[in-house]
Amino acid sequence: MSDDNSSSDCRIPLRNLVNLVQCVRDRVKDGESNESHGDFNLPNFWETLAQAAKSTSQEATKLSLAFSKPPLPSEQDAEKMAESFQKSILALSTVYMWFPKSQGMTLRRIIRDATAQVLEGVVQLIDVILSTPLQSLSQEQLTSTGSVWSSCDQFAHLPKDNQAAVLSLLTSHIAVVKDAIEEMEQAQTEALDPFSDVLDDEDLDSRGNRDTYWSESDRQLMAPCRGLMKASAACLRKLTAAVKSNGNVNSSETIAQLDDLADITKDISPSVDDLALSLYPPMDYSGVQQNACKVAGVLVKVLEITRASHVCLEADQSWVEFLSGAVDHNLQKVGALAQGCG
């Protein structure tokens, strides 16, 4: 058999494998979990998932090495490697599908995304092997192999229950809102012209357009808007502390309440970003007011759901009430100033 034919033949199992992995990846992204009948053992789930991820990582290494130097594997050997890789892929996806929704949708989505990332990495690795000259180890192949290793390793660092999963999301939301507040405050304090750092000196000299500056009435309107943004950050910080101290995963009800908190808080940072963007000149007061209402509406829902959940103890009622009052106060000020200046 010629080298060309041998090369062509050993690619066939890889093409079949990549088609299967793509199907498994799509099923993981869109499929439903297999609800467990009886007790679900969470520690056993994590142990089995870690073993499946380790096996997938090892199979990726074996395949990458086999197609990185001569002699190329025979079609029979390539078929064996593909079958072994297929088993590890199916095991990984099957273990993920064991995870029931009742253990937490927030955690399930995190595990789903991590599993899908592994499968996507495997698809990319096989595509690289198929599209580059065989018997050579390209930088792209090294990178793709490393990507599979990294995505498999991340399972060890995922949150292990729904409380930890919700905490990880809340922490990420805090960082985004904090950045939006700091960016807005920096733009206000550093220069009268928020666009001076993105325009040439010639443009600055020749331009007298007040639409790139904040007027005094603009700045007055910005104050309660910043108040809403700071209330958003405070709400996320307080809720994070409450979930950390009081959250539990001892029942399907408390797990579902944590999911509700995760679902509603995801709207905070996008609404804060929209409000911050609308504050740049030229300022459309009606648009600012509309975005302020969106922020306030989200915060009201977050505080209502928090108040009704198990994470809100009697001692937490005071900050919930305080923030509710702060949201209402700032929203009223935005409305009055927007109407008076518009």
pLDDT score, position 34? 64
What integer is the mean pLDDT of 72-81?
91
SS3 label, residue 232:
helix
159 in Cβ contact with 139 (< 8 Å): no
The verdict on whether omega for the bond into residue 224 sits within 30 degrees of 0, i.e. cis, is no
CA distance 17 to 67: 15
pLDDT at 340 over 80: no
Does position 332 have pLDDT exceeding 60, yes or no? yes
Entry pTM: 0.86
Rounded to whole angstroms, the Cα distance separating 217 from 221 reads 6
What whole-number percentage of the chain has pLDDT above 90?
73
Question: Stretch 161-173: mean pLDDT, rounded?
Answer: 97
Q: Note the pLDDT of residue 188.
A: 79
Tokens of 220: 């007055």
- Mean pLDDT score, 123-129: 95
| 216-246 vs 317-341: helix crossing angle, rounded to 10 | 160
Whether the ω angle into residue 133 lies within 30 degrees of 0, i.e. cis, is no
Q: Say what the pLDDT of residue 92 is.
A: 97
Task: Read off the pLDDT of residues 263-294 as tens digits, 9 standing for 90 and up.
Answer: 999 999 999 999 999 999 889 999 999 999 99
Confidence check: pLDDT of 203 > 60: no
Torsion angle of C-alpha atoms 301, 303, 304, 307, degrees rounded to 10: 160
Q: 6 Cβ partners below 8 Å, 6+ apart?
A: 72, 74, 75
Residues 233/177, Cβ–Cβ less than 8 Å:
yes
On the question of pLDDT at 32 being above 80, the answer is no
Q: Does residue 90 have a pLDDT over 70?
A: yes
Band of pLDDT at residue 4, cut at 50, 70 and 90? very low
Residue 231 contacts residue 330 (beta carbons within 8 Å): yes
Model pLDDT, residue 206: 45
What are the chain's domains? Answer: 3-156 (1.20.1420.10), 162-341 (1.20.1410.10)
